[in-house]
Amino acid sequence: MTTPSLPEIVEQPEVNEELEQPCHLILLDDDLHTYQYVIRMLGDLFGYSREKAFGIASVVDSQGQAILMTASKDECLLKQDQIHAYGPDPLMELCQGSMSAIVEPAA
């Protein structure tokens, strides 16, 4: 007579919920970058059409910020780095750097 085998117990690795939670990448408004700069940057970094980029630029201008994307934290951090490295607006004499963006958990 054979004894039935017990089911195998497989332990699941702990999941870091913070890493799994989707995040928003949010572009912040300032007075040192032109609409042309924002439109070009969003096209270059995100592949957004001129119309979509203009819409986002309008929201940033009127509301002080706009969500650029919702994705994993790592994806948002990568795009945030690209925004921060994009460089100054050549059309604004006082501009000395890139725009700012923040990453926040999507709620």
pLDDT tens by residue, 10-44: 565 555 554 478 999 999 999 899 999 999 999 99
Q: Which domains does the chain have, with CATH numbers?
A: 21-105 (3.30.1390.10)
- pTM for the whole structure: 0.80
Mean pLDDT (the chain) is 88
- Residue 18 · residue 106 · CB < 8 Å: no
Distance from C-alpha of 75 to C-alpha of 29, rounded to nearest angstrom: 21
